[in-house]
Amino acid sequence: MFRRLLDEAFGHDSYGADDTRRILLEYNVIADKAHEALHQTPYEDRAIVLKSDGTLIGAVGFAPCLAPFGRLRSFRGAAHRSPEVGLFWALLPEHWGKGYATEAARAMVSYAFDGLELGRIVATTENDNVRSIAVMKRLGMTIERNPSDEPHWFQTVGVLVNTAT
């Protein structure tokens, strides 16, 4: 398995209807160029593909995460809503349980800490998403529970601190 940016050549077959595909791809190309001009790392998906034949099976990446982190034990003293770098992964169901999400997420953690020199990354999910929580644990994330059930995607939070910074 390897990851690469969803680009015009690869992404064209990965989106839905032709118009939607074209609009999303044009946006991604423009956003990438803007980030590059500003010397900023783009927030975008990386494809998770099978090594054997290049079939797209999912995505992994970073996304801005503005959430009520101040509710959590490890964020005490932080603003109620603070911005963090969120790590996400998503796989087609037929590829669950094969280690692909963990492998892809580990590569992104390495990139976040070694390449981007980030101090911390987070991942969020619902309390009943046991597979994502298991990935968080395999990454070495500290698992915290939001004392409130809202928002639903912020019920369980994985926190990973870069000990090298």
Category of 117 on φ-ψ map: left (φ > 0), alpha (ψ -120 to 50) or beta: left
Please report, in tens digits, the pLDDT of each residue of the chain (165 residues total): 444 444 444 444 444 555 655 565 566 667 667 767 777 666 667 888 888 888 888 888 898 888 888 888 888 766 677 789 999 998 888 899 999 999 999 999 999 999 889 999 999 999 999 999 999 999 999 999 998 888 888 999 999 999 987
Domains of the chain by range and CATH?
Answer: 45-161 (3.40.630.30)
Measured between alpha carbons, how far is 100 from 102 in angstroms, rounded to an integer?
Answer: 5
Residue 5's nearest CA partner among 84, 65, 62, 85 is 62
Q: Could you give the residue ranges of the DSSP H alpha helices within 12-96?
A: 18-37
- CA dist 118 to 121, 124, 149, Å? 7, 18, 28
pTM over 0.85: no
CA 62 to chain centre: 4
